[in-house]
Amino acid sequence: MDFFVTTAAPARQRTDCAIVGVFEKGELSAAAAGIDARIGGRIARLVKRGDMHGKTGDLLVLADVSGAACERVVLVGLGARKNLRRKQYRKALTAALAAVARTGARDVVSYLSLEAVGDADSYTLARIAAEVAGHTAYRIPDQKTSNKRPKSTLTRFGIAAGARGDKTQAERGLEHGRGIVAGMSLMRDLANLAPNVCTPTYLAGAAKTLAREHRSIRAQVLNEVDCRKLKMGSFLSVTAGTEQPAKLIVLEYRGGKRGDAPIALVGKGVTFDTGGISLKPPPAMDEMKFDMSGAASVFGTFKAVAELALPVNVVGIIPACENMPDGRATKPGDIVKSMSGQTIEVLNTDAEGRLILCDAITYARRFKPAAVIDIATLTGACVVALGTHLSGLFSNDDDLSEALERAGERSDDRAWPMPIGEEYAEGLKSNFADFANVAGREGGAITAACFLAKFTDGLRWAHLDVAGTAYVGGSQKSSTGRPVPLLVDYLINQ
């Protein structure tokens, strides 16, 4: 999709569809009033008649608007003018673009960006607009033989800017939004694939494809023999029960100064998680194909960073495997040795994410990173604690935690700081190994983070538990593309 900024008056801008706002009590926005004057007051009459009330997300589509430069007008409610914030802006634009998608429009211009949004500037409004447009145009890669979802006809999306300074900021926002959309789309494509398609080997191939598409990215794939030489006993213990070979995927993007320490992103890549010997209950087990969402978010972030040519150095480390039960699978009570040399008593084989991440975090040390951020659909306990709106954020560094929290707020992809501490780690004590891989039921997301923290001495480290935010379950099952916006915003601001 092509993105552009226009400073032309709404009544003069030629487009297949113009999106204009109406506030509560029928108050027309300036853009709506400008078009209304060209079409003989049709909008005002409809509002007066009660066809549009102006509540946030209310919709009315006008076709064949003779007299205007546009072919269609989408009226969308913005709520009370004094209450217009990013949340209402995003909701209104999402509703409007969903309506546009039901038409044959190929070109659309949104004039909602001309409104005064209390907590956003021209850059932010443009970035949000690009993300919403990309989200609306996205189609799940399915294998249906009939009733396929129709592709979006929208090929050009523009937003209005009121002044030259606003235009410059809006163009920058659209550019960053375009990169984030590209990254989110890649993440969603990978995570939405069936688990018999998206295997560790498939992810390894996707890494090489990404490197071929972007010369700034280098990809390396280590096999199980390589991992055994590295003494990654914890990682390999998870893949012992499957016929699918594990892969350690390493991505490098060098856009910053030579010698600058990179940011290391470590993504959990369990392409299907049965729970192993500690077998999960059957309901919703199909959703465990999303257990590689952390890995997919690293792919998506690299895609965005390369598209935007950001001046930063980034390393991505993705331990990819399946967690399956068979006669060779790791059993509860088994003891494994991690790459760090620390031993782990595996009390629950369904707590496998931390077992692969700990070796990946240790591997990250060879890059002498400025910070290590791991991303994982790690615990159901985080979903219980925070629901599906916020990701869990754990860190041993206040500055890093604050930077990630701010990035989440700016990108509307929020993460909530959670505690870690020795009092929580007490439950990981083991009679037979250095520690166990699980503690009690209470504070499960926290004790999982405490486990990972045992491998981070001397590192600036943060952990994002995205179990509740990376995908939607049930009848609407699909990847959300989160936390790519948060991670890209963080890197933009580095």
If asked whether residues 137 and 214 sit together in one domain, one would say no
If asked whether residues 464 and 420 sit together in one domain, one would say yes
Is 168 inside a domain boundary? no
Q: Report the CATH number that the domain containing residue 90 is assigned in CATH.
A: 3.40.220.10
Measured in whole angstroms, the distance separating CA 439 from the mean position of its chain's CA atoms is 29
- Per-residue tokens: 386: 């925070």
If asked whether residues 152 and 218 sit together in one domain, one would say no
Is 30 inside a domain boundary? yes
Q: Which of 268, 303, 354, 410 is catalytic?
A: 354
**Nearby residues of 14 by Cβ (< 8 Å), 6 or more positions away:** 69, 70
* CA–CA separation, 374 and 368 (whole Å): 15
* CA–CA separation, 464 and 58 (whole Å): 35
Is 349 inside a domain boundary? yes
Examine the pLDDT at 132 and tell me if it is beyond 90: yes
Examine the pLDDT at 160 and tell me if it is beyond 80: yes
Examine the pLDDT at 145 and tell me if it is beyond 90: no
Q: Which of 81, 172, 208, 280 is catalytic?
A: 280
Q: Which helix (H) or strand (E) holds 29?
A: none
- Cα separations in angstroms, 206 against 209, 210, 298, 373: 5, 6, 12, 21
Is pTM beyond 0.85? Reply is: yes
| Sequence-ordered alpha helix ranges (H) in 339-439 | 353-364, 380-386, 398-410, 422-425
pLDDT value of position 151: 76
If asked whether residues 156 and 228 sit together in one domain, one would say no
If asked whether residues 464 and 344 sit together in one domain, one would say yes
- Per-residue tokens: 113: 């960006």
Q: Report the CATH number that the domain containing residue 344 is assigned in CATH.
A: 3.40.630.10
Helix (H, G, I), strand (E, B) or coil at 83: helix
Mean pLDDT of the chain: 96
- Per-residue tokens: 445: 């997301």
Q: Which domain holds residue 90?
A: 2-163
Final residue belonging to a domain, choices 148, 163, 178? 163
- Catalytic-residue membership of 280: yes
Number of domains observed in the structure of the chain: 2
If asked whether residues 201 and 149 sit together in one domain, one would say no
Is 100 inside a domain boundary? yes
- Catalytic-residue membership of 354: yes
pLDDT single digits (tens) 44-96: 999 999 999 999 999 999 998 888 999 999 999 999 999 999 999 999 999 99
If asked whether residues 296 and 418 sit together in one domain, one would say yes
Q: Is 397 exposed, middle or buried (0-12, 13-18, 19+ CB in 10 A)?
A: middle
If asked whether residues 205 and 125 sit together in one domain, one would say no
pLDDT value of position 66: 87
Is 170 inside a domain boundary? no
> Phi/psi zone of residue 399: left (φ > 0), alpha (ψ -120 to 50 degrees), beta?
alpha
If asked whether residues 126 and 257 sit together in one domain, one would say no
If asked whether residues 247 and 102 sit together in one domain, one would say no
pLDDT single digits (tens) 266-292: 999 999 999 999 999 999 999 999 999
If asked whether residues 131 and 208 sit together in one domain, one would say no
The pairing of beta strand 269-273 with beta strand 478-479: unpaired
If asked whether residues 259 and 378 sit together in one domain, one would say yes
